[in-house]
Each structure stands twice: as structure tokens, then as C-alpha cells.
Chain A
Amino acid sequence: MEIFSKDEAEKDAYTFYNKENCEEVIEYVLAKGKEAQKAEEIALTAWRSLECRDAGRIDLRENAIGELQFLEVNALPGLHPTHSDLPILCNKVGIEFHELIRRIVESAMNRYKENYTFFKEETARTEAL
């Protein structure tokens, strides 16, 4: 998702004011084509390299010559349903807020089940020795 500031937005930064008044001063546009593919590649590489889990947001920025640069990872992104970027992006691709929350919980629970099962099996094995 690309973030564009309208004329009415506070300048030079994606400020708290801009986020709170995003309906009036910000335009969110789904990225498409090769640029979107490149962004996805960079974002997923960063996410997986950092071993991040469940849900988050990677921020990228285009430099003066159009190259996408990694800015930061938000492993604990805002979850305000209308003012936070992750829910806004999800909504644009048809993932409603409650579905986003469901996926986060499911991801965490799948990880828990895998590791808890492993622990139980390991405990049983070592106790049997």
C-alpha cells in the first residue's frame, strides 16, 4: 500500500495528526505491478530474516532514483480498525478487521500447538528412559 499526503496534510512526515485525520488528508493506494512485487519480496525477506511472527508491517520508502529501501519493521503494528495502516491495507484487499484478528490468533495458536506437542513428546520420551 502506498501512502500519499494530500495538500491538507502536515508536511514532511506521516504524523499522528495525519493518521488521525487520514480520511481527509491521506490517500492510500494499493501498489500494483512490478513495484508491488519488489516491495513484497523485500518485505517478506526482511520479515523472515528477522524471524518475526504472526502479523506485522514492513515500511519501505522509495529513494530519489526509485529504489525501494527498507525503513523499519513493525512487529507490533497498530490495530486501530480505521486509522492503523495494517487494518487499512487488509480492508483494501478484502480482509475485514475481525478476519485479521482471527488470522493473528490462529497463527499464534498453530505455533503453540506445534511446540507444546513437541514438548509433551519430548517429556514423555525422556521420562521413559
Chain B
Amino acid sequence: MTKNNERKIAVVYGDVLPDAPPDEKDVLIEVDNVCDALDKLGYETVRMPFSFNVLKVLKSLEELKPLCVFNLVESLLGKGSFIPFPLLVFDYLKTALYRIRQ
């Protein structure tokens, strides 16, 4: 990891469609507040919507090489049952790219 990325955190959230109900759009407020808190703590935040375009997500994270991912994906396509999916992607990155045990 380069020194530039030592304070960079990717704040990842489920992509919110324009016609999403209020409880889904609520995550955008969470993203704002989490980013604000992280900024005050001296981190550089990068907001990243997570969608089923996995290659795009992987490419973005691989290019960014953040210190860590702050996962705020509470649903995908309006379904909470898809919550484990981003975790699989993050775990893949962790083991395949960063080769971290666990």
C-alpha cells in the first residue's frame, strides 16, 4: 500500500434508485454522516455505490487500494437478503489482492 492510501477509506453503500422508498434513501444520510465523522478523524473518504456490476466495483476498489472499506450496504435492489453479497466481494479482495488471512 502506498503512503497516499494510508488514510483513504472507501465508504460503500447500496446503490439507491431514484424511486427508492424513504427507508432505503435513509442510507444516503448515513453515508453523509459517516463520511463527515471519518473526515473529522483525519481520513480521506471516497463514497462508492455498490451495485451488481461487480467488475466495476472490483476495479474501483483495486485502483483505489483503500486502507479499508466501511461497509454501509444495507440492501441491494431493495432487498436486505442481498446483504451478504458485498461481503463476499470484499472478502475476495482481501484474500486475492491483499492476501489477508481470515
Residues of A participating in the B interface, judged by any CB pair closer than 8 Å: 16, 20, 76, 78-81, 83-84, 97-98, 100-102, 104-105, 108-109, 111-112, 115-116, 118-119, 122
Contacts and interface: CB of A to CB of B under 8 A. Distances in A.
A109 B101 contact: no
Interface in B19-60: 22-23, 26, 29-30, 33-34, 36-38, 40-41, 43
Contacts of A16: 22-23
Contact of A78 (B40, B74, B102): B74
A78 B83 CA distance: 13
- Which range contains the number of B residues in contact with the other chain? 20 to 34
A111 B71 CA distance: 16
A20 B34 CA distance: 18
B34 A116 contact: no
B72 interface: yes
- Tell me the dominant secondary structure on chain A's binding face: helix
Contact of A115 (B33, B40, B100): B100
16 contacts: A16-B22, A16-B23, A76-B71, A78-B26, A78-B74, A79-B34, A79-B72, A97-B37, A98-B36, A98-B37, A98-B41, A102-B37, A105-B38, A105-B70, A109-B67, A112-B68
